[in-house]
Amino acid sequence: MDHPETMSNPELRRVNRTIASVIFISKDGKFLFAKKHPEKGGSYPDAWHIIGGGQDEGETLRETAVREALEETGLVIEEDRLKPVGEAGYGESEKLQGGERVIAEMEFNRFEYRLDQDAADVGLPDSTDEFAEFRWVDAAGLLEVKQIPGVGSFWVDNGYVAG
């Protein structure tokens, strides 16, 4: 399990979030990443993220993953093609929520989704309210891309790259 360093700002309210993330892998073996708009106050704004977001009340994790994929990339995916990967990871990050700065305590649940097209054929999504930029990364680059704390070990532990 990933347990990044605990943030220590006792003045901020803590909120719990369950996150469903989608690891998009193109037919030619590339992984889709997104970088948040730094000025919008999201979690880990200086890191590259796999696609995902918070679970809404009444949603299953798979439903969250499908919704977030559509909202963040415009890609329509099939729930039954989502493959759970690894154990849940955990992290904390300061972020803006409803105009208030909070500490988000997050549980990350990851699903793999294999696309039927090469990365070049899928292209890159347009920027969104949350993400300023997208990029495809091959397996060799997974450990070179700055990501949220603890994700490097996830790639190794789950066989995406050799340790």
What are the structural domains of the chain?
13-157 (3.90.79.10)
The per-residue pLDDT for 3 is 36
Query: For residues 20 and 109, is the Cβ–Cβ distance under 8 A?
Result: yes
Query: For residues 42 and 53, is the Cβ–Cβ distance under 8 A?
Result: no
Ranges of residues in the chain whose predicted pLDDT is under 70: 1-9, 41, 163
The three-point CA angle 74-79-75 to 5° equals 10
Residue whose C-alpha is closest to residue 157's, from 52, 87, 106: 87
The per-residue pLDDT for 90 is 87
Residue whose C-alpha is closest to residue 115's, from 30, 20, 21: 30
pTM: 0.86
Q: Write the DSSP symbol of residue 140.
A: G
